Amino acid sequence: MTATIGGWTIILLLAAYLLHILWRQIAARSPVAIAAFVAGYFLLATTIRLTEPYHLLRPIWLPFVYSYIWLAISAAIWLPAAVSAGRRGLSFPAESPRITALLISQLTLGLGCLLTSPFLQWRPMAAYIMMPPMIVIISYLLYRLFLLALLRSKWAGLSWGMLLLSTLLSPLACSVLGGWLAPYLLGWT
């Protein structure tokens, strides 16, 4: 990536999203979420190290670029400790709505891209890995959607229908927007 205005905009967008994640983690003061976040970093760094053993510093800095993958891994670690499943959906009685919305949005996006990619010619996964700025924007919109649903919910939970729809529609949005935005993003860098 060259030092253009578009390139710097992309870097600032990724940095702003990482700072938002850190701010949410600190503000929530959830020991389970923070421990899962730290463990998620080490799992992602170890995975990167095992896939590319000759690049020594890449496992250290690459999780900061792919902060949404880091957060999805930490959400998968956090979920069994924080969730209570019922007939209506998933509730999170011990967690704040903001950290819940942040983690669940990343979990549904990551899981959706992973599960639907074989049926969509791997386009959602390609966008998930190769277009971090677009994924960050989709992630933030999903976060806001889940936060609104959690704040309006009387039982502090998310319905099964909403979780299923977001898991299925977010990868579809990734593949459609990825095909449309790829030429523009490549021209900016």
Q: Strands 89-91 and 84-85, how do they pair?
A: antiparallel
| d(C-alpha 21, C-alpha 58), whole Å | 21
Query: How many Cβ atoms are within 10 Å of 164's Cβ, its own excluded?
Result: 13
pTM: 0.88
Please compute the mean of the pLDDT values over residues 12-41 and round it to a whole number.
Answer: 92
pLDDT tens digits, 169-182: 999 999 888 888 87
Please compute the mean of the pLDDT values over residues 107-123 and round it to a whole number.
Answer: 94
The residue that leads in pLDDT, 178 or 97, is 97
Q: Is the pLDDT of residue 2 over 70?
A: no
